[in-house]
Amino acid sequence: MKPTLVSLSRNELDLAHLAVPLQLEELLAGDGPWEVEIGFGKGRFLLRRASAETGGRFLGIEVARKYYRLAQKRMRKQGLGNVILIAGEALYLLSVALPAAFASVVHVYFPDPWPKSRHQKRRLFDPESVDLVIGLLRPGGRLYFATDHLEYGDLVAEILGSHPAITVSTRQGLWEDGPRTNYEAKYEREKRPIVRLEATRSGEAGDDLIHPLTRRSLLAAARLPGS
């Protein structure tokens, strides 16, 4: 596997050379709230947000190296100094590299639904992995999600709805600022149905961030003979 890269406005670092979890306050100074986009693609939405909210701080994760490079080029061309871009696999980065409860907002738009049963363990939203996403949010933080894969959208709504720390609602129609990704703009033109969800983490700092199905799996594993 190629080294995971962390790109700032003026330089690029190898994750292997940084302390983990990442010391974000050292990488990007300031006191503005953090927004995270998982799977930022070509950077359309993330860079637009960073340009509009210059007092905020933004972090994006993208597994496709060619899209990461394109967004990096655009970030530097626009002179944005409030963005961190990371090239790497999201579940790995969420479990190892990123601190807990630092983000005010997390965005996830049109992730791979991995529709085949043998691939579903790779899903970002699964009872066994959703805690990694929710764990990024500070108390009161918000999650925004969209997919054109309706079955997956319904499943994500169910997973989030059964999480003890989350309140979730389905959004009817576009976001206030219009399509947020190239995919969303294309699907809107094609009048393709889209599931859009808005979720909020409860405001208690000590709330339960373990999904009930995850807890059940952990308890079952603990009872296995010889474990």
Residue 87 inside a domain? The answer is: yes
Would you state the structure tokens that stand for residue 44, as one six-digit string? 């359309």
State the Cα–Cα distance between residues 113 and 224, nearest whole angstrom. 31
Amino acid residing at 210: I
Beta bridge partners of 60: 37, 85
Q: What is the mean pLDDT of residues 115-141?
A: 83
Q: Tens digits of per-residue pLDDT, 23-44? A: 999 999 999 999 999 999 999 9
Q: Could you report the per-residue pLDDT of 64-101, keeping only the tens digit for each?
A: 999 999 999 999 999 999 999 999 999 999 999 999 99
Total number of domains in the chain:
1
User: By 3-state DSSP, what share of the chain in percent is helix, strand and coil, each rounded to 5?
Assistant: 35, 25, 40
Residues 6 or more apart in contact with residue 211 via CB below 8 angstroms: 127, 128, 130, 131, 159, 162, 163, 164
Reply yes or no on whether 148 is catalytic.
Answer: no
CATH of the domain at 104: 3.40.50.150
Q: Is pLDDT at 208 greater than 80 in this prediction?
A: no
Mean pLDDT over 177-189 rounds to 95
Q: Is residue 227 part of a domain?
A: no
Domain-located, residue 15 = yes
Mean pLDDT in the chain?
Answer: 89
- Alpha-carbon span 168 to 184, nearest angstrom: 21
Determine which one of 112, 131, 177, 207 is catalytic: 112
Residue 95: how many CA atoms within 13 Å on its side-chain side? 9
Residue 144 lies in a domain: yes
**152 is in which domain, residue-wise?**
5-222
Distance CA 51, CA 43 (A): 12
C-beta of residue 45 within 8 angstroms of C-beta of residue 83: no
pLDDT score, position 224: 45
pTM: 0.90
- Which regions of the chain does DSSP assign to beta strands (E)? 5-7, 12-14, 34-38, 57-62, 83-87, 103-109, 137-147, 166-171, 195-201
